[in-house]
Amino acid sequence: MRALWRGAISFGLVNIPVRLYAATERKDLKFSYLHEPCKTPIRYRKYCPTCDREVEMDEIVRGYEYESGRYVIMNEEDFERVPVATTRTVDIVDFVSLAEIDPIYFDKTYFLEPGEGGQKAYALLRKAMAESGRIALAKVAIRAKETLAAVRVYDDRLLVMETMFWPDEIRSYAELTGIDEEPHLHEKEVQMAEMLISNLATDFQPEKYTDEYRRALLDIIRSRIEGQEVYRAAAPQPEKVIDLMEALRASVKLAEEQRAREGARRTS
């Protein structure tokens, strides 16, 4: 893998040189837009209407629109000169409990690898964090943007960094009207719902979950390549409307049967 960023983790007077690598990747299928009559891929041009011509990448600069139609031009040197310490450091400011952070704040995960001479300090920080049960909240600037980040221990072997949204980037739900009224819940309904949750409770096993939509889409694509007929799944038949308690009872029964089957498989 190619390092996206090189710098250091900084906390107190300790500096740990690190390299940053993307820890996740999207597996989405990518489709091209084609011109239907000739099946030619559509081109998206970088076009300047004033000069009436296409422009090359080296002619393009970044501009901030501070008023309608008026821009401040920024080049790479301007971004390099931003006077904040986080341009080259993951600056740890606090150690907190992971359970205190709502997942809505998390954005993207990166692996942190110790740099030259940083192995011992890196291992010390990893061990201390693991034993304390705390994660680090930090600030870091990546690709011309300072972000909040969480540094934590992953798989008991390395540190990872999760970039986070700032609090003012989390949208308010004040405009959602469907949550204003609190429906009356019968005690038996709550008990049945809790029983269903209990029957479906298990340890997290990430390999258990697969992208069925992407797999089915790939099957269709392979069939088209091989010239085979593509079969459509039968549309689900509308079911009769049942009340909440009946749905909960049926769900609990199904969950119990599924758990019994899984238990039998593990035993065998």
Query: What pLDDT does 132 receive?
Result: 94
Q: HSE-up of 258 (CA within 13 Å, CB side)?
A: 12
Which amino acid is located at 32 in the chain? S
Neighbours of 232 (CB within 10 A): 6
Q: Per-residue pLDDT tens for 63-100?
A: 989 888 899 988 877 777 776 655 678 999 999 999 99
Query: What pLDDT does 223 receive?
Result: 83
Q: Per-residue pLDDT tens for 134-171?
A: 999 999 988 668 899 999 999 999 999 999 999 999 99
Instruction: Please state the domain extents for the chain.
Output: 5-25+81-169, 187-267
Query: What pLDDT does 98 receive?
Result: 93
Answer yes or no: are the C-beta atoms of 151 and 164 closer than 8 Å.
no
Which residue ranges of the chain lie beneath pLDDT 70?
83-87, 143-144, 228-244, 268
Query: What pLDDT does 84 receive?
Result: 64
pTM of the predicted structure, to 2 decimals: 0.71
Phi-psi region of 69 (alpha: psi -120 to 50; beta: other; left: phi over 0): left
Answer yes or no: are the C-beta atoms of 146 and 86 closer than 8 Å.
yes
Q: Domain 5-25+81-169 classified CATH 1.20.200.10?
A: no
Query: What pLDDT does 30 receive?
Result: 87
Rounded distance between C-alpha atoms, residue 264 and residue 116, angstroms: 51
